[in-house]
Amino acid sequence: MSSIRVVVAGYGNVGRGVIAAIRNNPDMVLAGIVSRSPERVKKEISDVPVLPLADVEKWVAELRPDVAVLCGGSKNDLPEQTAMINKFVNTVDSFDNHSCIPQYFAKVDASAQESGFVSVISTGWDPGVFSMERVLANSFLPGCRAYGFYGLGEAGGLSMGHSDALRTIEGVLDARQYTHAVPEAIEKVRAGDNPQFTPGDMHTRECFVVAAPGADKEKITSEIINMPGYFAPYRTTVNFVTMEELKAKYSGFPHDGLVVAAGTTGDGNAAGIEYRCKWSSNPEATANILVAHARAAVRLAAEGRKGAFTILDIPPAYFSTLSKAELLEKWM
């Protein structure tokens, strides 16, 4: 099998992670980077072509990618870019606004069905692997529910999607959002209560925001805590900090999470399932998962499949570099 040619669309934290992940996957090659600001990217990158994102037909012709990994934000970038790019090439993205996924799927699917390409949407670790673990736990323990928790350690976990959303607000120069799991909620699940939670019962959100000089902090705070989907459903705290403080104290991208489900088998025998991950670099972990899905997208396309897919629609073997014989021998 010849190398999978990947274009990275968007050169932020996830985009940088995808470039690193491609280097760590021997069956892939970075065909090029496309960006809304190619000149900015070229200051850092000189060994692969960097082209303007908007002219999709042109960069697809020039870079001949098998798949484009879309690394833009979920709030403004992906809803506009994905259905535009999948007219010309297979795509993978990490659209992470959970409540909007059905509409997003429908839009991307319509475009990909028409063009004949494959678009894997909303993948990463959540939505993505955690979605899959929730569905599997619910399937294997009927009647139980599976729950996702994030930021189990004291520091919490940095949410990129929510940090990105904060940075779209006028007057915000930079920002970080840390998610904290509510420990009592985890224990309720482990006890087999299958509790009915609102999102706000499970997590709190802590924002560290650098405001522009003269910006209206009250207005920024109000915009944050009322942002639908992202912050409105949660107990959200907003802390204004200086740029120096943000960089010194909130510079890494650590995150961790847990899917937990407790139910019964037979006539009431307790059963529990937990999936946990811990990342020093959340964007790199997301990138690694995106790249495995890029491999799957190319394989689906090679089978003549088209349209939108989520991780729920993809056989696990498609993510692996190993052959069927190797998987049966080594990993079953």
Specify the stretch interacting with a copy of itself by CB under 8 A; choose among 127-135, 159-167, 205-213, 233-241: 127-135
CB of 286 to a copy of itself, least distance (A): 9
Binding to a copy of itself by residue 90, rule CB under 8 A? no
Q: Is 191 in the site for a copy of itself (CB under 8 A)?
A: no
H-helix or E-strand spanning residue 39: helix 38-42
- Which of 11, 105, 178, 231 binds a copy of itself (CB under 8 A)? It is 105
Rounded distance between C-alpha atoms, residue 23 and residue 27, angstroms: 9
CB of 267 to a copy of itself, least distance (A): 6
- Minimum distance from residue 133 beta carbon to a copy of itself (Å): 8
Least CB distance from residue 13 to a copy of itself, whole Å?
A: 10
Residue 152 in the binding site for a copy of itself (CB under 8 A):
no
Alpha carbons 130 and 147: distance in angstroms, whole number: 9
CB-wise, 82 or 221, nearer to a copy of itself?
Answer: 82
How many whole angstroms separate alpha carbon 266 and alpha carbon 142? 11
Candidate list 36, 98, 107, 235; residue touching a copy of itself; CB under 8 A: 98
**How far apart are alpha carbons 106 and 20 in whole angstroms?**
31
For residues 294 and 308, give the distance between their C-alpha atoms in angstroms, rounded to a whole number: 13
Helix H or strand E segment including 240: strand 235-240
User: Are 315 and 117 within 8 A, CB to CB?
Assistant: no
CB of 34 to a copy of itself, least distance (A): 21
End-to-end Cα, the chain, rounded Å: 23
Query: Considering only residues 3, 113, 140, 168, which one is a binding residue for a copy of itself as defined by CB under 8 A?
Result: 140
Question: Cα–Cα distances in Å, from 306 out to 79, 98, 123, 314?
Answer: 19, 23, 17, 13
DSSP state of 2: P
Question: Does residue 142 bind a copy of itself (CB under 8 A)?
Answer: yes
- Residues found near a copy of itself in the complex (CB under 8 A): 17, 20-21, 24-26, 98, 101-102, 105, 122, 127, 129, 131-136, 138-143, 265-267, 269-281, 284-285, 287-289, 292, 295, 310-317, 319-322, 325, 327-329, 331-332
